Homo-oligomer: A and B are copies of this chain.
Amino acid sequence: MITIAIDAMGGDHGLEATIPASATVVDSHQQVKLILVGLETQIREKLDQQRCANRDRISVQPASEIVAMDDPPAFSIRKKKDSSMRVTINLVKDGVADACVSAGNTGALMGTAKFVLGTIRGIDRPAICAILPRMTGFTYVLDLGANVDVSPEILFQFGIMGSQLIESYEGKSSPTVGLLNIGVEEGKGDETIKAASELFKNSSLNYIGYVEADDVFMGDTDLIVCDGVLGNVALKASEGVAQFIMSVIKQEFMGSMFNKLSALVSRPTLNAVKNRLDHRRYNGANLIGLNAVVVKSHGGTDAVGFRYAIEYAMKSAGSGLVERISQRIATRMETEAIQ
């Protein structure tokens, strides 16, 4: 049995997303228990209205405060010690839950998780790692916004963590690793990326060199490493263009009577396209490098998206990821100590 702690109050939709998602998860998986954390009366009220056959596998853990989407991390850590987010993370720290999920404020979640759980020994900074779809399989990308200023060493640690994540999730040994840059040629980019590239080259990682941002969706690199600013911009630009394309498709199919007819005929196919591209299916990003599994859900997601984030946390909880990263980093430190 896997136990997942859920920040029931987090995200733009709070209980409207987290409660139905939790019900679906316990009704779809036999081996999971969920702990919903937050304002007890509200959660119980909402749970009572929710159709759920396996309600006995959902429990409630009271927490009296809520971290706002714009609360600065330091403020939420110091002033909201009984927030649903903090109590959720405490449950993992105390070993009550195997992993946790929150759709709350990213900065506060990362800050609180770092403060409560601590960072794996040998890792300087945790990062956010997302999984994005491509034609064949997935691309793992980190960092997605946690780290604005990075050093070559930190980028290299991202590479180690991401590689371990792919090995444990996909069972793929020696996944390929690329560094996101503005060109694939040697000599491109700033001093940080050039120095990082040297670290990767001299390592046991399966480093393939620089990649460009279109490789996230059209390439075949397993892991793409970048700082949080580039990762955020690549992800947001992709979201924007995907939304734009879907709007153009909708507008064209609604344009004339003939197009409406063809839309009717094409509906199953267009729905299949929409389904494959539905970003809710890829919801859930690992806060990687912490001493426990913390999954960040997109703040604006609905019950469908939040369900995927919980399922992702279930997968992460059983992956032994933290131990793998710890071991890999420990080996590295030993090797360096000998040299």
Contact = CB atoms under 8 A, between A and B. Distances in A.
A189 B148 contact: yes
The size bracket of the interface on A is 35 or more
Nearest to A135: B247
Interface string A199-219: 000000000000011111111
B190 A213 contact: no
Given A248-B277, A269-B253, A273-B249, A214 B243 contact: yes
A237 interface: yes
14 contacts: A135-B244, A189-B229, A217-B243, A218-B243, A233-B233, A237-B237, A238-B238, A245-B277, A248-B277, A252-B272, A252-B273, A258-B268, A262-B269, A263-B269
A233 B237 contact: yes
Interface in A232-260: 232-245, 247-249, 251-253, 255, 258-259
A68 to B, nearest CB: 12
Contacts of A245: 242, 245, 273, 277
Contact of A213 (B70, B233, B242, B273): B233
A185 interface: yes
Nearest to A258: B268
A233 B213 CA distance: 5
Interface of A: 70, 72, 133-135, 145, 148-149, 180, 182, 185, 187, 189-190, 212-219, 228-230, 232-245, 247-249, 251-253, 255, 258-259, 261-263, 265-266, 268-269, 272-273, 276-277
**What are the 5 tightest A-B residue pairs by CB atom distance, in nearest-first order?**
A214-B240, A213-B236, A217-B240, A213-B237, A217-B244
Q: Which of A240, A243, A249 lies at the interface centre, i.e. has the most chain B CB atoms within 10 A of its CB?
A: A240
A180 B252 contact: no
Contacts of A243: 214, 217-218
Contacts of A268: 258-259, 262
Contacts of A249: 273
Contacts of A185: 70
A133 B180 CA distance: 25
Contact of A265 (B134, B145, B262, B273): B262
A242 B243 CA distance: 10
A265 to B, nearest CB: 5
A263 to B, nearest CB: 7
Given A135-B244, A266-B266, A214 B230 contact: no
Contacts of A247: 135
- Most chain B Cβ neighbours within 10 Å, of A149, A189, A239, A266: A266
A213 to B, nearest CB: 4
A3 to B, nearest CB: 33
Contacts of A265: 261-262, 265-266
Nearest to A259: B269
A53 B185 CA distance: 42
A52 to B, nearest CB: 34
Contact of A216 (B219, B235, B237): B237
